Amino acid sequence: AAGGRSRDRHVEGQRRIEVTNARLAELIDPGATPELLGSGFQVTEGPAWDPRTGHLYFSDIPADTRWRWSEADGMEEVMRPNFKGDGLVVDADGNLLVCEHVTSCVSRFRPTGEREVVAFHTGGVYLNSPNDIVTRGSDGAIYFTDPDYGRHNDFIGVERKPALGYKGVYRVPKDGANGEAELLVAEDEFDQPNGICFSPDETLLYVNDSPRDHVKVFDVAPDGTLSNGRVFHEGIGTGESSDGTVDGQKCDEHGNLWVTGPHGIWVIDPAGELIGIVEFPDRALNHVWGGDDYRMLYVCCLTTVYRVPTLVG
């Protein structure tokens, strides 16, 4: 049900983002000041930008709540319960796709509010707990990761045994296929696949593995299948979430990968070399570009949500 509760926006003028080197300064102004849009959440995740309405959507997983923010209306609670939703994305038709931990499915919310189940099983076996999600521009296909974090405890999901014996990366056609998700990688490819995103030309798909502290990259064929999986960058943290770990990730217009890790967001060039780290005052979990020119970076930082201008889209 939609709620009327809202949270005030604050500006943290004394907190500046630390930009670690000159090369990174070409992508974000070293003097950039993060603006605190909201605080007091439990665990924020899954930010998604809706260009049609100018809204930022995100999840507070343990609070079982979906929030949205806009320049005009500030912070608003729009859905509770939210099936402990995690990753979100707005597709090309303006629908909101949600990875739900409680239901172990991917759902689609139409602008009218109607909810549809997009994916809930693979080969007749229930999924674990879909986590992060992206759509492919060329055909609208839906790609998502499926670790089992939402089955570990009742804090971010519902404690229960997994039905699958592995954690995978999946694809669903734009309009779904009777809830069936197609496994795109080998069953032993990942320990816990998490953040997922395409390169700008959609010839590459990046997927990170939180316990293994690395990001993998796959070649994407014209038919949408994946091949040639290899480690793109490793050594991002220790695998312990308290230290900051690979989680949310997005590519900028130049193909640089922005992925969360210790101290903030790690920026890695297309060759796999670390450019630098954008350090935030709170532990960064996920992020998305938005705004009129897609150069405003919105960042979910555990119990807070920030935005900061960048020099890239």
For residue range 20-74, list pLDDT tens digits in order.
Answer: 678 899 999 988 889 999 999 999 999 999 999 999 999 999 999 999 999 999 9
Does the CA dihedral 136-140-143-149 come out positive or negative?
Answer: positive
* 207 vs 157: CA distance, rounded Å: 22
**Res 281: pLDDT:** 81
* 313 vs 303: CA distance, rounded Å: 25
Two tokens, residue 256: 């640089």
Tell me the pLDDT band of 14, cut-offs 50, 70 and 90.
Answer: very low
What's the whole-number average pLDDT of the chain?
92
Question: Residue written as tokens 């509760």?
Answer: 5
Segment 203-217 mean pLDDT:
97
